[in-house]
Chain A
Amino acid sequence: MHCGDDHVNQLFVEHADLVRRFIRALVRDRERAADVFQETYLTMLRKSDDYKPGTSFPKWVCAIARFKVMEAFREHRRLPGSLSPDVIEMLAGESTAHMEDPRLDRLEDCLRRLSGSMLRLLRHRYQEDLKTSQIAERMNWTPNAVSVGLSRARAQLRQCINNPGPNT
């Protein structure tokens, strides 16, 4: 057992959300994304000696995840819902890919500012994991109205996150 492995393992646990987010953004199929995440973890453990303490762990581990994502695309050619491999590779190499956004700390506050119907849309989409057509049926809306509603909710959230305002 390598003496630095526990430290790297702990770092992975701390940044697991970021790694998961990175992979899910590129691999839209949930089952495949789970496989890639596991492969990334095991590869990271095997290569734990390569990590230089003091350097950016997210950047290092996302480089491993990027490799695993491309491996998955090579194996399966096109994964459902995902973009073309060359675009995926380009996105995975973006410098902002492995960064956190501290403004998202305001997300909960910003969610409170949404209307009841927007919150219902987001619950159906993210909590119940419903497709647009299913949400449309549930809310007696057209699928297009659901898509527009979700876009508006996200746009409002982005605006709020970027512009917190003077008070509660």
Chain B
Amino acid sequence: MKNESDSSRLLDAYFDGTLDESSRELLEQLLRSEPSVRAEFWNAARLDSALADKCQAAQTREAHPVTHRLRAVLSLAAALTLGAMLGYFLNPGSTTPDTGNNADPMAESHPKTVRESDAAPAGFIRETFDAVWSGTPAYARGAPVAQDASLKLRSGSVSLLLLDGSTVEFTGPGKIQLATPNRMTVMEGLALIQTPGDLEGEFHISVPGGTLGLVDGAVRLRAGANGRWEADALDGGFKWVPTDVLDAASRTWIDEGMRLDFDGATASSVAIPAQEMEMAGSSEDTAGSQTAERLAQWRLDSSRLAQDDPSLLVHFRFDDETAAKDALLNENRSGHASREGVVIGARWTVGRWPGKKALAFQNSGDRVRLGVPGTHPEVTLAAWVALDELQRPFNGLFFSEWGIEGEIHWQLGDAADFRFGQRPLRESAVAGPGYFHRVWSQPNLESMRSGRVWNLLVTTIDTKNRKVIHYVNGKLIAENTLPESIPVRFGAATLGNCSYPAPDVWGPRPLDGLMDEFMLFTRILSHREIEQLFREGNPG
């Protein structure tokens, strides 16, 4: 009796070329005796061939951006006269230039030089603050930092999030090296290292003369090029283990409020001057003045936005201290859309700057509900988001009410690609059940990675000209065409999740990350305006 999983497994091995002798005999036995297995063989062959075609087409598109039909039509006269031999692959090739309308999921989009292996990095660059790098590589926001990577700053600061949950604020000029997610070396510069309360084990910081061991707290380290350094225990204490010490008894514990001063030969501990402890303040004091300034400026710029632009129908700034815990205030008080969004499940947390709030959409029911009446031929959607793992195939940004005419889905795929969809008109020809018009972009892994990096996502929807354009951080990512001209309607809309009524494979679709600002304009913003939005809201 045929075992279905046996035949599938054997057929997979056959097409992958890993069939051993005994398995081949078993497969042949099944093929001889079972017509259903022979039919399964051809289904598997078709899928195998389709996958090969898809990948070769993707590879061709990557190699030849200006594409043309590569299907060779041999004339009989040429074949007979020249005795031309037909090449094995007539190469279906590509058809039209891929602007992202049917962006190929098999196409590699991120540069291969960013990371050569699939090994996990030590961490990610969370933010940069006027960073000027010395030599290579120059890390951008969101970039992974490989284990054993060196970071050399000529000036400015960077904030790193390590995979063990620790954060490092590094200010140049200086050089640090990340060995693993919980081990680093500070050669020169100013580094503020903070470990989470649930850190397993210690965070080790190698310095000239020994190692500091941090368990739960914050240490500020200033290291000079001459091998001298001082380490301040700002929050909690740390352990000091000189290089030449073998026994545990000689290790020193430095209490909170104390400074360990290394003069190149020996280390001694003194109290941190009170004035310097006051200046330390919060754990992000290294870049604290910069972030506070930026937050203040953003508050000023963004409060003007709703006042100056009546097309900004919905503006959630996530910043109103007076709002109820389960409400999101709409800066547009005209009443043309909900005055407040109703927060369901999503948890309040920290946004782009300390003191700025955000909502975390992580659980299946997390969402904000709001009403946006009307029919809109032109729409711009914008959101500041910081994404986590994007494990789901669909991660919801903003959805219209389910089932209405003009319904749109604004969401990301698990490769951080935009997956914008619109419900077709009922009277249109529908290509199969559940068909939605789609304008999907290429993957955006380079811009949008996990690690809680903040990005501005913008999509403009021009239904009159059937154009949908996607932007990330002010840069145009994809320009696509909608098959039909259908004005957008939102109705009872959902932010941070889908509006699909029942949980199944198609929903729910929580964002899997944080959002700290959302804007809905009833016009198309220009590229310049989107760049300005990014400049004004950029935390780094």
Contact = CB atoms under 8 A, between A and B. Distances in A.
A51 interface: no
Most chain A beta-carbon contacts within 10 A, residue among B90, B102, B506: B90
B49 A111 contact: no
B42 to A, nearest CB: 5
A151 B9 contact: yes
A122 interface: yes
Interface in A105-149: 107-108, 111-116, 119-120, 122-123, 125-127, 131-132, 138-140, 143, 147
Interface of A: 1, 5-6, 9-10, 13, 16-17, 20-22, 24-25, 28, 30, 33-34, 37-38, 41-42, 45, 81, 83-84, 86-87, 90-91, 94, 96-97, 99-101, 104, 107-108, 111-116, 119-120, 122-123, 125-127, 131-132, 138-140, 143, 147, 150-151, 154-155, 157-158, 161, 164-168
Contact of A166 (B27, B54, B506): B506
- Identify the interface centre among A37, A45, A83, A167: most chain B CB within 10 Å of its CB: A167
A140 B119 contact: yes
Q: DSSP class of A's interface residues: helix, strand, loop or mixed?
A: helix
15 contacts: A9-B76, A16-B90, A83-B31, A94-B38, A94-B42, A96-B39, A99-B42, A100-B46, A101-B43, A108-B105, A119-B415, A122-B106, A140-B117, A164-B434, A167-B423
Contacts of B432: 164
Contacts of B87: 34
A13 B80 contact: no
A126 B56 CA distance: 8
A157 B417 CA distance: 20
Contact of A147 (B12, B49, B413, B434): B12
A161 B46 CA distance: 12
Most A-side CB within 10 Å, residue of B9, B49, B59, B72: B49
B493 to A, nearest CB: 16
Nearest to A157: B47
Given A83-B28, A154-B12, A37 B86 contact: yes
Interface in B27-84: 27-28, 31-32, 38-39, 41-56, 58-59, 71-77, 79-80
B414 interface: yes
Contacts of A28: 14, 17
Contact of A123 (B13, B55, B421, B423): B55
B440 interface: yes
A85 to B, nearest CB: 11
Given A83-B28, A138-B118, A165 B506 contact: yes
B355 interface: no
A92 to B, nearest CB: 10
B31 A87 contact: yes
Given A91-B41, A123-B55, A164 B119 contact: no
Given A9-B74, A94-B41, A132-B16, 7 more contacts: A16-B90, A17-B92, A99-B42, A108-B102, A123-B55, A140-B119, A167-B409
Contact of A38 (B16, B43, B58, B88): B88
Contacts of B76: 1, 5-6, 9, 45
B255 to A, nearest CB: 43
Contact of A122 (B18, B38, B39, B51): B51
Contact of B17 (A1, A10, A81, A86): A81
A112 B32 contact: no
A9 B80 CA distance: 12
A154 B27 CA distance: 18
Of the listed residues B14, B47, B105, B438, the one surrounded by the most CB atoms of chain A closer than 10 A to its CB is B105
Given A21-B45, A83-B28, A116-B414, A94 B39 contact: yes
B489 interface: no
Nearest first, the 3 A-B pairs at minimum CB distance are: A34-B88, A25-B45, A127-B55
Contacts of A122: 51, 55, 106
Contacts of B75: 6, 9
B508 to A, nearest CB: 13
Interface in B389-409: 391, 393-394, 409
Contacts of B118: 120, 138-140
B353 interface: no
A96 B46 CA distance: 11
A143 B18 CA distance: 10
Interface in B91-150: 92, 102, 104-106, 108, 117-119
Contacts of A166: 433-434, 506
B419 interface: yes
A166 B502 CA distance: 12
Contacts of A87: 28, 31-32
B106 A13 contact: no
A139 B120 CA distance: 11
A126 B72 CA distance: 23
Nearest to B421: A168
